[in-house]
């Protein structure tokens, strides 16, 4: 890791979208969550990603969550707004909105229904990037988008589109991340999207991570980042090993339902996920409680 | 195949949604396409599926295409309306709309952003089925939905939810289709979603197919269905073999862009696909022309 | 299916290699099994394939099983000897041996440790084919070989190597099989390797099947072949549906251990599989008993 | 990484098996290669693995290479002999032989023809471990064995079988490796099998790597290990990034053929791979030359 940190670095918290008992967006809870994340040391906030259930929001809801999030952050840290949409026009409109409301960057996942070719992805990213004056962060997450952008294709977009300046790599493949760091200009940022390989990502050159886990254990995530930056590798590796069981339960294994369940346990209730997503079972809730307790740093409600 | 045909059988044409030069829904072209398909012998019409680019339409556009399609068919054949949506509430609202406007059935694909568990899919299907008085056709298509519903889980839904009476199986896996036919009640309909295995699907017990290929070669598809129903298996197998190269180009290989390109070649222009989908290259267009000419039954423009 | 049947057609039984209590090849049981299969109507015998555990035999054992099988068949039906080996030299030596001992054809699966390129497979097949005067049957089985030969690459080998005249397609992909039938000369034989899609394979043009299931239910397999050949499709489809549960248990789900367990149940004990393969559990044995009893045509011991 | 290094640590070179022009094992070249690897700083030697083409050797050849390798090393460093075989009896015999000839440990990959269940793998490993007094290193490499052993199943074997004391993890999945380090006793060794993620593996707790790349660039591999051990992480990360292009060409992309081609370029000719493996094309040879030259540390012949 370099000493001079770029604008987007460290722990970029990836908030959920809280819903109230009727299933509507819970504005008060959203504002509280953002304040809590900044208070716990998050270096930036990235609303309306996968974790923000943006795929399940109406256009009106999406605009409301974007506007509230930017406003509530009040320029204390940068805001990176997720603008992914199935159509190019829809994603471009969201990028325009985020820019106009004062977002600092936009994040774009090439979600697809029909599989997209590399040329289709390139044109899509280009059109969305041209709709905003902010930096654009590409988001590679084959598990949800159905598309694995190769390091080569990402490098081509970085070179061809001026404001594509960051990538969030969520495949968890460290060889692919190393390739990305090696193949892109020094001022380009690579950020980790997988908490189970966050420390390894930092080692090979990532400048930070956009982590759902930071909603549940923000201080531990910030500590892992700082330990690595300070060269305290043995402590960082040990902390990463302790974080893996939690990261699996609130990430790959149970997604947003797992994360919203964990938030309830750490006294930061954000309501239930939106159907078809369903709350986790009692058994999963018990496992979550167990790994959080054994992590020994959280007081559960 | 049984002698007494069920309500939903034979060639269920799977129309595209035509767009005009500005990218808006082209109502006139949509009405012409529907008339052409019925004129060429389609036994039913299934608008707003994958092929109908329903994933890329706004809610307003979706309602307009549904209303126009039902109206234009004018009860000449049954209409099966695709109502898939990422949220349960959205899909239920579409099912309600289709029912109110006079649709004869709805088709439901459990599209997902976050992977859905079997229980989540079951609850989703149940909620949507309860929103309509029409029969519901489950749609299994792992390639676009990211979810492969097992024959066992489909049978469980059929048994538990009254108006789930059909399944469209698009995995192309004939063993799985055989399992479905064997495991469901006699009055339950299994329909093929893959044109490359349509004849084999009919052999193992499917009552018809919902085929994008029927937009391009409606008469050949109808003929294949009738040959099989009439026990003329050698002719059917020979026709299926001749259809495979066309089916691949307008289906698995090039999706909606391939299909819309082929429609232009057979003088049934439906405009371009909506971005991020992009028109096929000149090379693919040449291949399409070649396989259609060698099929020897279409006059190309 | 054509009326004039080629030399290799119908039910090609795929025997196991029986082992005695000490784990050695059980010659007497092997001879009994072959006589039983021919007595029950098998149109040919194919020893030393996947089902014959040839991957687990020493070279000496392989030669002994090949010699005994050819001798015991006594020209009553054709013998197709599996000659697959990890090295080209080893497979060629086996092909030479099978030819010299009077085998009627050899079957070759491009097994691999390191993944093979298409050019490496082509050269391997060519070298083995040149080592024998008999016809060569290519064997495509991605599940065990780790390699899925495309229809195009198979057609290239058929055109380039004179005595490659058959393919056993075990992927179970009916679209791929249709492609193979369409793309190869009329005198070329395509044979099914998957019992769950055997009837569909015959419909799209296969001339028979090399089926492990034929060890357990030889008469039913022969009946399915004849019903299809005689155009009695409804009866054939019904029989196929009843065979699927058995075919899954002795095939994809439990491999050789499932097959050897089923053989014990039908009073044709062939001993245990060779370690690391282990006998099936009591629970699987109970399932096997249940599906065989419900098939209603076997008297179990 | 801990300060007190275990017996098996650092760069465990993974030699090829040299063949002469006739295709026979080239004893002189094998002895030269081993001397060169030890001279360049390898901490141990691991003959007869995937890279050693052991899957393509006869039993006699395998014994000869094992005996020569152990003898030539002359106790200068530990020798870990690959004993994998398709049968349990075969692998156990090899383990016994390696032990009797003075090997320091054996490495065991659960290679399979039919897919093995977890119970079958457990019994296989146990039987082989009981055949030797040396430590046993499990080898997880789904790409060649067709089996991905989960961290949980590996931990179960470590706990149940006394002399299973190491694992070589070649999946390249750093989350899985972190799980293994976290889940096993402190004295258990986890070793990396993938050169593209070697540095990240060391960071998360691996004690070394068994690397084919060490045949081509032994000094660079040793340097990467030492830099990491000495806490010089920025230099280590930079070296890892420079090694990735070479590691891909001689590893995942071109396997043994790529490695033997690279060995020729660095003046350490080990002959050609054994058919069906074929020498790389001229184009691949040119790429290899280019990445090795741009690595700037090798003088090519």
A113·B110 Cβ contact <8 A: no
Measured in whole angstroms, the distance separating CA C153 from the mean position of its chain's CA atoms is: 21
Mean pLDDT score of chain B, rounded to an integer? 94
Contact between residue B170 and residue B139 where contact means Cβ atoms under 8 Å apart? yes
Mean pLDDT score of chain C, rounded to an integer? 94
pLDDT bracket for residue A2 (50, 70, 90): very low
pLDDT in tens, B76-100: 999 999 999 999 999 999 999 999 9
Between residues B221 and A147, the one the model is more confident about:
B221
pLDDT bracket for residue C222 (50, 70, 90): very high
Sequence-separated contacts (24+) of C286-289 with Cβ below 8 Å: C287/C249, C288/C249, C288/C250, C288/C258, C288/C261, C288/C262, C289/C265
pLDDT in tens, C273-299: 999 999 999 999 999 999 999 987 555
Q: Choosing among D24, D114, D128, D258, which should be mutated to test the C contact, i.e. which has the most C CBs within 10 A?
A: D114
Count of all residues that appear for chain B in the document: 301
Give me the DSSP letters along D281-294: PHHHHHHHHHHHHH
CB atoms within 10 A of CB C193: 28
Instruction: Please compute the mean of the pLDDT values over residues D18-37 and round it to a whole number.
Output: 98
CB atoms within 10 A of CB D294: 10
Lowest mean pLDDT among A143-147, D75-79, D121-125: A143-147
pLDDT bracket for residue B70 (50, 70, 90): very high
pLDDT in tens, C146-192: 888 999 999 999 999 999 999 999 989 999 999 999 999 988 999 99
Q: Give C33→chain B minimum CA distance, Å.
A: 29
Q: What is the pTM of this model?
A: 0.94
B114·A146 Cβ contact <8 A: no
Q: Which of B108, B168, B164, B167 is nearest to B134 (CA)?
A: B164
**Lookup: tokens for D134:** 């040396």
d(CA C145, CA A56): 42
Name the class of domain A10-232: alpha beta
B241·C1 Cβ contact <8 A: no
Q: Which of B288, B271, B268, B279 is nearest to B17 (CA)?
A: B271
Closest residue in D to A178 (Cα) is D241
d(CA C256, CA C17): 10
Lowest mean pLDDT among A247-256, C191-200, D93-102: A247-256
Name the class of domain D10-236: alpha beta
d(CA A175, CA A183): 12
B181 dihedral zone (left: phi>0; alpha: psi -120 to 50; beta): alpha
Q: Any chain D CB within 8 A of the CB of A165? A: no
Lowest mean pLDDT among A206-210, A291-295, B141-145, C30-34: B141-145
- DSSP-assigned beta bridge partners for residue D155: none
Lowest mean pLDDT among B278-287, D2-11, D229-238: D2-11
At residue C3, the pLDDT reads: 52
Q: Any chain B CB within 8 A of the CB of A121? A: yes
- DSSP-assigned beta bridge partners for residue C166: C137, C189
pLDDT bracket for residue D195 (50, 70, 90): very high
User: Looking at the predicted structure, is the pLDDT value of residue B3 above 70?
Assistant: no
Mean pLDDT score of chain A, rounded to an integer? 94
**Lookup: tokens for A125:** 């990213």
CB atoms within 10 A of CB D14: 30
D87·C113 Cβ contact <8 A: no
d(CA A258, CA A280): 6
Q: Which residues in A8-162 belong to E strands, given as ranges?
A: 10-13, 44-45, 80-82, 105-108, 136-140
Give me the DSSP letters along B254-278: THHHHHHHHHHHTT----PPPTTS-
d(CA C276, CA C273): 8
- DSSP-assigned beta bridge partners for residue A189: A166
At residue C299, the pLDDT reads: 59
User: Looking at the predicted structure, is the pLDDT value of residue B167 above 90?
Assistant: yes
D56·C86 Cβ contact <8 A: yes
At residue D236, the pLDDT reads: 98
At residue D252, the pLDDT reads: 79
Q: Would strands B105-108 and C80-82 be described as parallel, antiparallel, or unpaired?
A: unpaired
User: Looking at the predicted structure, is the pLDDT value of residue B1 above 50?
Assistant: no
User: Looking at the predicted structure, is the pLDDT value of residue D25 above 50?
Assistant: yes
pLDDT bracket for residue B144 (50, 70, 90): confident
Measured in whole angstroms, the distance separating CA A128 from the mean position of its chain's CA atoms is: 19
pLDDT in tens, D221-240: 999 999 999 999 999 999 99
Instruction: Please compute the mean of the pLDDT values over residues A191-211 and round it to a whole number.
Output: 97
Measured in whole angstroms, the distance separating CA C27 from the mean position of its chain's CA atoms is: 20
Chain C contact set for B237 (CB, 8 A): 203-205
Contact between residue B233 and residue B200 where contact means Cβ atoms under 8 Å apart? no
Q: Closest partner residue to D240 among A178, A240, A242, by Cβ? A: A178
DSSP 8-class letter at A208: E
Contact between residue B100 and residue B83 where contact means Cβ atoms under 8 Å apart? no
d(CA C200, CA C194): 10
Handedness of CA D30, D32, D34, D40 (dihedral sign): negative
d(CA B207, CA B203): 9
CB proximity under 8 Å: D 217-236 to A: 231, 233-234
Helices (H), chain B: 27-39, 59-73, 88-100, 118-130, 142-145, 151-160, 174-183, 198-203, 213-216, 218-229, 233-250, 255-265, 282-295
Q: How big is the B-C interface in CB pairs under 8 Å? A: 73
- Which residues, other chains included, contact C185 with Cβ-Cβ below 8 Å and sequence gap of 6+? C158
pLDDT bracket for residue D299 (50, 70, 90): low
Contact between residue A48 and residue A82 where contact means Cβ atoms under 8 Å apart? yes
pLDDT in tens, B180-218: 999 999 889 999 999 999 999 999 999 999 999 999 999
At residue D1, the pLDDT reads: 42
User: Looking at the predicted structure, is the pLDDT value of residue B298 above 60?
Assistant: no
**Lookup: tokens for D273:** 């791979």
Residues of D serving a catalytic function are: 139, 168
pLDDT bracket for residue D15 (50, 70, 90): very high
Measured in whole angstroms, the distance separating CA B3 from the mean position of its chain's CA atoms is: 23
Between residues D9 and B148, the one the model is more confident about:
D9
At residue C69, the pLDDT reads: 98
C278·D120 Cβ contact <8 A: yes
pLDDT in tens, D140-177: 998 888 888 999 999 999 999 999 999 999 989 999 99
D277·C121 Cβ contact <8 A: no
pLDDT in tens, A39-55: 999 999 999 999 999 99
Cα C196–Cα C240–Cα C73 angle in degrees, nearest 5: 75
At residue A3, the pLDDT reads: 52
User: Looking at the predicted structure, is the pLDDT value of residue D269 above 60?
Assistant: yes
List chains adjacent to chain C, taking adjacency as at least 3 C-beta pairs closer than 8 Å.
B, D
At residue D146, the pLDDT reads: 80
**Lookup: tokens for A155:** 């490098």
The 3-state DSSP class for residue A57 equals coil
At residue D263, the pLDDT reads: 97
For chain B, give every domain's residue range.
10-232
The percentage of chain C sitting over the pLDDT mark of 90, rounded to a whole number, equals 88
Instruction: Please compute the mean of the pLDDT values over residues A48-69 and round it to a whole number.
Output: 97
At residue C1, the pLDDT reads: 42
Q: Give B274→chain C minimum CA distance, Å.
A: 29
**Lookup: tokens for C135:** 């016809």
Lowest mean pLDDT among B125-139, C18-32, C126-140, C141-155: C141-155
The 3-state DSSP class for residue A123 equals helix
Q: Any chain D CB within 8 A of the CB of C7? A: no
d(CA C160, CA C145): 23
Contact between residue D157 and residue D164 where contact means Cβ atoms under 8 Å apart? yes
CA-to-CA dists, residue D134 to D60, D97, D187, D191, D211, angstroms? 22, 11, 16, 17, 21
At residue A42, the pLDDT reads: 97
Q: Any chain D CB within 8 A of the CB of C159? A: no
User: Looking at the predicted structure, is the pLDDT value of residue D2 above 50?
Assistant: no
Q: Give D34→chain C minimum CA distance, Å.
A: 23
User: Looking at the predicted structure, is the pLDDT value of residue D43 above 60?
Assistant: yes
User: Looking at the predicted structure, is the pLDDT value of residue C301 above 70?
Assistant: no
């Amino acid at each position: 890791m370099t000493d001079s940190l770029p604008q987007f670095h460290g722990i970029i918290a990836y908030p959920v979208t809280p819903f109230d008992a009727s299933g509507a967006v819970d504005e008060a809870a959203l504002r509280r969550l953002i304040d809590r994340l900044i208070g716990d040391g998050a270096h930036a906030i990235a609303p309306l990603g996968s974790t923000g259930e943006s795929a399940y929001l109406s256009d009106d809801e999406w605009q409301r969550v974007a506007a509230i999030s930017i406003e509530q952050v009040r320029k204390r840290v940068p805001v990176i707004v997720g603008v992914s949409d199935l159509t190019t026009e829809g994603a471009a409109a969201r990028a325009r909105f985020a820019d106009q409301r004062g977002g600092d960057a936009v994040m774009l996942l090439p979600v697809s229904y029909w599989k997209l070719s590399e040329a289709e992805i390139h044109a899509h990213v280009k059109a969305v990037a041209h709709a905003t004056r902010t930096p654009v962060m590409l988001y590679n997450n084959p598990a949800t988008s159905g598309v694995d952008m190769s390091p080569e294709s990402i490098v081509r977009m970085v070179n061809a589109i001026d404001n594509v300046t960051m990538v969030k790599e969520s495949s968890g493949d460290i060889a692919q991340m190393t390739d990305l760091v090696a193949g892109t200009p020094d001022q380009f940022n690579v950020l980790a999207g997988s908490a189970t390989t966050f420390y390894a990502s930092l080692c090979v050159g990532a400048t930070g991570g956009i982590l759902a886990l930071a909603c549940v254990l923000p201080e531990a995530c910030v500590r892992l980042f700082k330990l690595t930056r300070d060269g305290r590798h043995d402590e960082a590796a040990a902390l990463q090993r302790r974080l893996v069981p939690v990261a699996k339960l609130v990430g790959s294994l149970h997604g947003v339902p797992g994360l919203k369940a964990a938030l309830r346990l750490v006294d930061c209730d954000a309501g239930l996920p939106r159907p078809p997503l369903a709350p986790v079972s009692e058994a999963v809730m018990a496992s979550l409680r167990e790994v959080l307790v054994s992590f020994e740093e959280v007081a559960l409600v």
